[in-house]
Amino acid sequence: MGNQSGQSYGLTILSPIINNGSRAAAQDLALRHHLSKLANGEHSPFAKVPGTHFVRLVVMGDVVFVGYPARDEHLKSQYLICTADFDGELDPYLQTLARTIPAELDAIWKHCVGYPGATDPAKFAEYIKKCQVETTLYFSDVNDRTLEQTLKALLVKTAVTAFAERYQGQPASVVQPAFKKFLTELSQTPAPRPGAAGI
Amino acid sequence: MELNLCDLQGFVARGYSGRSFPVASFLLARIHDAASGREFLGRILAEITTGQLWNGKKPGSTLNAGFTYAGLAQLGLPEPTLQSFPVEFVQGMKSRGKILGDTGADDPANWETIWQQDGNVHMWIGIYAESKAALEDRCRKISAAMLETRGATVLQTQEAGALVIGGEVSTKEHFGYSDGFGNPDIQGLCRKPTPGQGKLTDHGKWVPLATGEYLIGYPDEACELPVSPIPYLLASNGTYMVYRKLHENVATFRKFLKERGGQYGGGEKKLAAKLVGRWLDGTPLELSPDTENIDIVKDDARNTNFTYGKDSDGARCPLGSHIRRTNPRDAFGFSGQLVNRRRIMRRGLPYGTYVPDDQPVRDDGEHGIIFMALCASLFRQFEFIQQQWVQHGNDAHLGNDKDPLLGNQCDQDRFVIPGDTTPKNPPFVCPHLPDFVNLLGGEYFFLPSITALRMIAEGGVDPR
């Protein structure tokens, strides 16, 4: 399994964090602070980007060898790890990302080495691809359905169960017209918002 | 491998069956101080029932003991030893409420008084007896030892016992289900493996689980020694016990069966069977989807001998039914390795008086189950089952749906019964499940070996 699984793309990025040593505004601390304040769920900035299933941001300070004998070895840099599952191809997604939430991206990646900013989507995409490593494992719930299909499926599951609860045991003469009406209404109901709770 | 059965507590080595020991008392006690508490423990030490085989000389009553973390601290165990216990045991069940789903009606605020204050209960003393007289006799002796040593006080005596229905001692609980099938076979403990009770090999054979899934001090299914307190001798041959007093809302249950059973095409009895995965008499749905079959129930080679592989949509046994959730057997693939690490030994017993079907019953009557489960890791085994399989449905592909019987429903959850096209087995959705069971309190206990009990009594626990 590589970066693509069916129509799903698994993006893994390691961006080195600027090392400005012991200065008052250490970049890693500032980045951790910023990430801790980011909203989750439907208020996440990434919920605005079409086709995004999941995005996770982690600061990797060091990798410590746990074993015998202990080794005093360290990473050359701290890294921002970004993992994302989204629909479609990498290039168009990165461009959309840069066009949709440039300010939010800048606020995160400005702490990283060589970051060109998101004002120019092409340069942003080029930078991200330089930081990319191959994805080998996906979040276990990635199932080759698009975000839209997944959200709609959740809506359908909830609605069909509610319909079954309401009409089970009733004669066909009641259920059939009700089901036709239900289908029409369901097809006209928009998918829930990405990240929305309670579906 | 042979286990030293003389070093195991009898309650750990075997369950005391309702046929031999129909009545029980669980004394929940508080230890006064280290010196007198150890003296009390020393006084009853020789009376503790071990796992040694009885060879026809069955005692009239049994005696076993366990301690909460607060109890071990009160008995003066050294600080380094206390700090080496797993965090969930140290915290205790009340503090783990959010993980266990003990919220709303099951919140500790609604528990019995003795459980409300942290660290109040120190000791569990389990007594099983062949008769009321033998039980009272043993309880009197324990009380006398407490008084003489001034070592402990009983905070609550929880009576329990096999339900007597129509004058006969039964294996049923208050909802009417036959209970107590399917404890895991453990290497070194089971003399003759029972099909369906251990782990399933790739060749479809059932073999006992690794000893370390149940007892501390032995390799488990991952070929690791479970996390255990120090010194090794204190931990080895011991295990942990979950104690939960579960009140059963019998009126709610019967009303639910009547109402929903009237709407469900399979009828009341089948609805009851679909909730649990077994008919009321214990027949597994997987083996007999349309009718009870007492021949299967009585046959130990068959009554737990089934898998779910050919019933992946749950048309026979619903994916969300109680026994399929809490022991999914082969349902998750990977040669059962995910399931083998989540098995627990159940030692539960009903309390209260059975109200026959044809008599009026109230929810607030005295009826429930003292759920007791034993395992080597409370976190990995009991808490996982409770959090992921009882209070959540994702692993069973059921979203947020909970265990229909044990789940903390809050009137918001549903139970889906998959069906097929035959009129006897229609699909059905039970909406607005009520709470059938409410938690009235409980705690985590450590059940030491006989050697460890003696070390504790003698003040000889040395972590160095």
At position A117, the amino acid (one-letter code) is G
Alpha helix stretches (DSSP H) within chain A: 27-37, 90-100, 102-109, 121-130, 147-167, 172-188
Residue B241's pLDDT is: 98
| Contact assignment for A161 to B414 by CB distance below 8 Å | yes
Percent of chain A with pLDDT over 90: 71
Element (H, E) at B234: helix B232-235
Give the residue from chain A lying closest to B266, CA to CA. Answer: A169
CA B187/CA B210 separation, integer angstroms = 6
CA A105/CA A117 separation, integer angstroms = 8
Residue A26's pLDDT is: 87
Confidence of residue A139 (pLDDT cuts 50, 70, 90): confident
CA B208/CA B184 separation, integer angstroms = 7
CA B219/CA B235 separation, integer angstroms = 13
CA B191/CA B380 separation, integer angstroms = 26
For the four alpha carbons of B222, B226, B232 and B234, in that order, the dihedral sign comes to negative
Residue A21's pLDDT is: 66
Residues belonging to chain B with any Cβ–Cβ distance to chain A shorter than 8 Å: 263, 265, 399, 414, 416, 427-429, 431
Q: Which residues of B touch A165 (CB under 8 A)?
A: 414, 429, 431
The candidate with the shortest Cα–Cα distance to B187, out of B169, B153, B213, B149, is B213
Cβ neighbourhood burial of B62 (10 Å; 0-12, 13-18, 19+): buried
Confidence of residue B337 (pLDDT cuts 50, 70, 90): confident
Question: How far does B431 lie from chain A, in Å, by closest CA?
Answer: 6
Residue B181's pLDDT is: 86
Question: How far does B212 lie from chain A, in Å, by closest CA?
Answer: 24
Residues belonging to chain A with any Cβ–Cβ distance to chain B shorter than 8 Å: 157, 161, 164-165, 168-169
| Contact assignment for B429 to A161 by CB distance below 8 Å | yes
Q: What angle do CA B189, B192, B194 make, to 5 degrees?
A: 100
| Contact assignment for B414 to A164 by CB distance below 8 Å | no
Global confidence as pTM: 0.90
What are A13-33's pLDDT values in tens digits? 999 999 876 655 689 899 999
Q: What angle do CA B105, B326, B443 make, to 5 degrees?
A: 50
Q: What ipTM score was computed for the predicted complex, to two decimals?
A: 0.71
What are A89-114's pLDDT values in tens digits? 999 999 999 999 999 999 999 999 99
**Domain range annotation of chain B:** 5-244+443-457, 248-341+373-441
For residues A144 and B237, the model is more confident at B237
| Contact assignment for A168 to B416 by CB distance below 8 Å | no
| Contact assignment for B414 to A169 by CB distance below 8 Å | no
| Contact assignment for B399 to A157 by CB distance below 8 Å | yes
Of the listed ranges A122-126, B34-38, B77-81, B412-416, the least confidently predicted one is: B412-416
Residue A20's pLDDT is: 76
Q: Which residues of B touch A156 (CB under 8 A)?
A: none
| Contact assignment for B429 to A168 by CB distance below 8 Å | yes
